[in-house]
Structure 1
Amino acid sequence: MELVNVERVRAAQKLLSTVVRQTPMEHSRVLGEIHGTEVYLKLENLQRTGSFKIRGAYVRMHGLDAEERSRGVVAASAGNHAQGVALGASLLGIPATVFMPRRAPLPKLAATRGYGADVKLTGESFDETLAASIVFAQRTGAVFIHPFDHPDVIAGQGTIGLEILDQLPNVGTVLLAAGGGGLVGGVAVAIKAMRPDVKIVAVQAENAAALPESLGTGSPVKLPGVRTMADGIAVAKPGALTFRHVRDLVDDVVTVTEDSLARAVLLSMERAKQVVEPAGAATIAALMQYPGRFEGPVCAVLSGGNVDPLLLLQIIQHGMRAAGRYLALRLRIDDKPGSLAGLLTMLGDLGVNVLDVEHTRMSDELRLGEAEVSLNLETRGVEHCAELVAALRAAGFTVLR
């Protein structure tokens, strides 16, 4: 298949004009301060279905002829592509079957069914789900709608690039989360055709980073496994077509840690007032993990906002620990009346919130007259943690941490 060109992206934009919304572009003061340049957020988490995926899915299905539409479509997805296919198929009057991993987030599962698709929960990983959907397509004749490796899908995702140039004409760098490569490849096509000087940067989760090795070897490489909270970009191998776009058009690939992803989700809620899933927050994670690396003005695309509330709770807690907002301490105190009360009073005076406390006098490590206290504390951040430990030691407590 030939590479997608900007004319194809423009045609996709015209087709999508009554289907998708042009998502907002908002300035982020806090990320600008962290990174040392102007930073803007492209809010695809506010797109229909909660992510950019409706763009490519709709363009792909609109291109089917009447006979193909009558056979229905099938897709495999952890959630966002599933919703894009389900809604697009509903708008076009096409029967849709969507395969999702058994552990797919419940909101994504419910939304996909709500848009009218027949959902089949199969496999523990995306690769297993993808294989099952391909078998289904071969058996039934349904048209397989690939989540990223098709020219129409790439062109549809590329319409975001046209919007970025319209909303932020002087953009210097565009950051995009990358799994299979459809989003970053499509946006690179659109932007490089008109502004070849703009830097396009792909952001991958450290534990699901297939692009660096693939680019190093010159062809798509499959990882032995992926394990990341960012399920939207947990793809073990880039597509053959998307890889060519990335190889030819993308300027840089960076990876981000799980801690950075969790902190980015937390920051997006606290400071940007946006609910963003881990994959959608990958670009924020890159700005936080690599301050000063990217030429401004920077546009960070928040690619999706579909996150299970239970997972979000875990991510927030993880992010607070990574940001030093939670602190676990072990201390030794005198085993006498009032010692524990005095410790807790001191913590309160230091502005610390005690989440839970465990007190024991039974340990082989303790000397006679000693007790051990384990504490989980809520603090104001890393500096506050350091001040707290220093104050406790100055007061004579043995801090084991």
Structure 2
Amino acid sequence: MSLLDFSIVPEAAAVRAAATRLRSFMSPSRLVRSDALSDQLGIEVLFKLELENPTGSFKVRGAYNVLAGLSPEERARGVVASSAGNHGLGVAYAAKAFGTPAMLYVPRTAPQVKKDGIRALGTLVNDEQPDYDAAMVVAKAHAAREGIRFINPCLGLDLLAGQGTVALELLDQCPAMQTVVICTGGGGLLGGMGSVLRQLAPGVRVVGVQSVETAAMTHSVRAGRVIDTVVTPTLADGLAGQIDADALHIGQRCADDLVLVSEEELGETIAWLHRTTGMAVEGAGAVTVAALRHGHIDAATGPLVALVSGRNIDPSTLDLLTTRFPA
């Protein structure tokens, strides 16, 4: 616990306060057993269904906690954010709940289902930038110009405190949990959950999962310094983008291991999840299950909990994958 920098990751008290705020806004997400993976791995495997949250991912937790912590005057001036899609949906949903004007910058390659969902919530969307990192640069400039709050998709104590409420729920739902597997991009969920678990349940093993095309965190942690990666097309668009020194701290201090899955493994897993459970899971939310299905995580004992977060996959992509990877 002493290795955590509490200027970057939240203390447990802040996460508990976020959980209190969220209690009137949304219910805890369900924890369900995966019979297929439990049988395959020989341990108890559970899915934390963050894709059943409002907007379809964990991102709404942090966004709501940020908006809840602003003054009425700050909320009236509005907020701006950059996003690959799900953070934008979370900000749009929370902004609507508070009656706050919001502007979202997303890459032009963001799935149409996410852009349409953000606009449907009454938020303005700019999708002129070529990738996630360029969208963030423009969003930050907008916030500075207008003097309004920029809501970072992966960093900020109030944002991470909201994401950390997932870990608090798990400690209630599965106190015997031995391992938790977390979808990892810029480190928001890993930082929020990992900080809570390091403080309250240090015996729980924390494993972050990325795709080979979204591996900025993994490459940086392995190198011991921030490594820029090439932005390439990926099914896990929600995990794409570079990281900075704060995110590197999260990867180094909040994860016991970081593993990568291939695009092929990820596509097969999305099709498998849809075929066997009926769930439509986007790539960023399916990386955890892909890592388990394809043997990238060695877990001798359970229970093991895998986060499944993100249902916002374009129907055409899902159809393509289910055709390509039949039973």
Give the TM-score, by structure 2 length. Answer: 0.93
Letter in 2 for 1:84: G
> Contact 1:35–1:292 (CA<8 Å) still a contact in 2?
no
Indicate yes or no: 2:177 matched with 1:171. Answer: yes
Alignment partner, residue 66 of structure 1: 72
CA separation of 1:120 and 1:268: change in aligned 2, threshold 3 A: same
CA separation of 1:164 and 1:70: change in aligned 2, threshold 3 A: same
Q: Identity over the aligned pairs, expressed in percent?
A: 37
Alignment partner, residue 279 of structure 1: 284
Higher RCO, 1 or 2 (CA under 8 Å, sep at least 6)?
Answer: 2
CA separation of 1:52 and 1:3: change in aligned 2, threshold 3 A: closer
Q: Deviations along 1:370-396, whole A, 9 cap, x unmatched?
A: xxxxxxxxxx6xxxxxxxxxxxxxxxx
Alignment partner, residue 32 of structure 2: 26
The answer to which of 95-104 and 209-218 deviates more is: 209-218
> Contact 1:256–1:286 (CA<8 Å) still a contact in 2?
yes
Q: Over aligned residue pairs, what C-alpha RMSD do you find? A: 1.6
Where do residues 239-318 of structure 1 align in structure 2 (5 Å cutoff)? 239-290=244-295, 293-295=298-300, 296-318=302-324
> Contact 2:87–2:153 (CA<8 Å) still a contact in 1?
yes
Letter in 1 for 2:182: L
- Partner of 1:113: helix, strand, or coil? helix
> Contact 2:208–2:259 (CA<8 Å) still a contact in 1?
yes
Indicate yes or no: 2:141 matched with 1:114. Answer: no
Give the distance between the partners of 2:146 and 2:139, measured in 1 at CA.
Answer: 10
> Contact 2:46–2:303 (CA<8 Å) still a contact in 1?
yes
- Structure 1's consecutive aligned runs of 4 or more residues displaced over 4 angstroms after TM superposition are none
> Contact 2:280–2:318 (CA<8 Å) still a contact in 1?
no
Give the distance between the partners of 2:245 and 2:162, measured in 1 at CA.
Answer: 18
Alignment partner, residue 78 of structure 1: 84
> Contact 2:291–2:297 (CA<8 Å) still a contact in 1?
no
**Structure 1 position 43, deviation (Å):** 0.3
Indicate yes or no: 2:237 matched with 1:221. Answer: no
Structure 1 unaligned runs (5+)?
326-379, 381-401
Alignment partner, residue 148 of structure 1: 154
Give the TM-score, by structure 1 length. Answer: 0.77
**Structure 1 position 291, deviation (Å):** 6.1
Give the distance between the partners of 2:297 and 2:74, measured in 1 at CA.
Answer: 49
- Partner of 1:305: helix, strand, or coil? coil
> Contact 1:26–1:40 (CA<8 Å) still a contact in 2?
yes
CA separation of 1:292 and 1:245: change in aligned 2, threshold 3 A: closer
- Partner of 1:109: helix, strand, or coil? helix
Give the distance between the partners of 1:108 and 1:31, measured in 2 at CA.
Answer: 29
Letter in 2 for 1:177: C
Indicate yes or no: 2:23 matched with 1:17. Answer: yes
**Structure 1 position 246, deviation (Å):** 2.5
**Structure 1 position 2, deviation (Å):** 4.5
CA separation of 1:67 and 1:219: change in aligned 2, threshold 3 A: farther
**Structure 1 position 310, deviation (Å):** 0.9
Letter in 2 for 1:264: T
Indicate yes or no: 2:142 matched with 1:136. Answer: yes
Give the distance between the partners of 2:296 and 2:154, measured in 1 at CA.
Answer: 30
**Structure 1 position 292, deviation (Å):** 6.3
Give the distance between the partners of 1:2 and 1:134, measured in 2 at CA.
Answer: 19
Alignment partner, residue 168 of structure 2: 162
Structure 2 unaligned runs (5+)?
1-6
Q: Whose helix fraction is larger, Structure 1's or Structure 2's?
A: 2
> Contact 2:9–2:192 (CA<8 Å) still a contact in 1?
no
- Partner of 2:189: helix, strand, or coil? helix
Give the distance between the partners of 1:212 and 1:121, measured in 2 at CA.
Answer: 28
